[in-house]
Chains A and B, each alone.
Chain A
Amino acid sequence: MKIIIMGCGRVGARLASLLDEDGHDVTVLDNDTYSFRRLPSSFGGTALFGNGIDEEALKRAGIEGADLFVALTQGDNRNVMSCQIAKHIFHVPRVVCRIYDPLREEMYASLGLETLSPTKIFAQLLRMQIENPEARSK
């Protein structure tokens, strides 16, 4: 699969190297080249400098032939906008969007984006672990 990941933070870099290990064709996009230090030296994909809400940068990253686009920058709105560009302008078959704000996440999910809210997921995980500590040790 040809995969584009926007945002080379801790999660972006880790996901990129995992998918690269699985044999996918991975391109990571970030508007700060310093972020690419997080990629392991074994990373065999492409690290590209560029702004993911700019159509030209997305084209350079090869979005026209991409099978999957994942938005993982720190800004919810940037993620939302780039995912909508990927989906509605470039018709990428699968688009995954990280949105921290649970309310915004629910709204964009209802508008048809595939969304994940780390806030919601992590709060649920913590609650499970606090209320049911044995479940973890099993």
Chain B
Amino acid sequence: MYIIVIGGGRLGYYLLKALINEGHEVLVVEKDPRICKTITDEMGSVCFRGDGCEAATLGEVGTGRADMLVAVTGDDEDNLVSCQVAKHKYNVPRTIARIRNPQNAVLFKKLGIDVTVSSTDIILEAIEREVPTHTITQLMSLEEKGLVIVDVKISAKSATVGKTVRDLTLPPESKLALIIPGEGSAYVPASNTVLHAGDQIIAVTTLETKEALRAALRGVES
């Protein structure tokens, strides 16, 4: 695959390395000549100096035959424009934009960007996972299907301890996939499975019903 990366900052640099290691043909477009030199010195001629938002630059680097363009500069507006130019002028089949403001996900989707990755959301989730009182963690989102995979922790305080799965009123779009007990190995829940304190429940749900699922699984906190 021919992949173009816009922005040679820390994220672009490591992405470039990873993609080269996977055997792809990769080119990074970077404005700053010093950053370009560092990359070229280390990895050979894989850095093009130029503005990745300019149609002319993207033309020069052969965007027309690219399979994918990934824009990872630190500015949401630059990433948006790079992806839009790639999409509309050069018909790149897949465009991925990094966003810093999670709110922009909706706009970017509307404007035809295939995938957005919110660095802010990812860092927040990673930190939240480490907060012991945090009861629901989003593990993954399946953007195209509008679904998320979450991990809900059942504590001794949860009103649902001792209840069976059948007794819970789960939101209609939610499915419990796996229970990881405090001790012992993981198992697939059935309708007569009893919830225990210390259980971790892996479930699939929609973004909108995430909170409802958490409430259903933990009950009213006592």
Binding site for B on A (CB under 8 A): 53-55, 75-78, 80-81, 84-85, 88-89, 101, 103-104, 107, 110-111
Contact = CB atoms under 8 A, between A and B. Distances in A.
Nearest to B85: A107
A88 B80 contact: no
A78 B75 CA distance: 9
B77 interface: yes
Interface residues of B, number: 20
Interface residues of chain A: helix, strand, loop or mixed (majority): helix
Given A88-B107, A104-B81, A107-B89, A53 B76 contact: yes
Contact of A101 (B54, B89, B111): B54
A81 B80 contact: yes
Contact of A75 (B55, B77, B88): B77
A53 B99 CA distance: 12
6 contacts: A76-B53, A80-B81, A84-B80, A88-B107, A104-B85, A111-B88
Contact of B55 (A80, A85, A89, A103): A103
B76 A76 contact: no
Interface in B50-70: 53-56
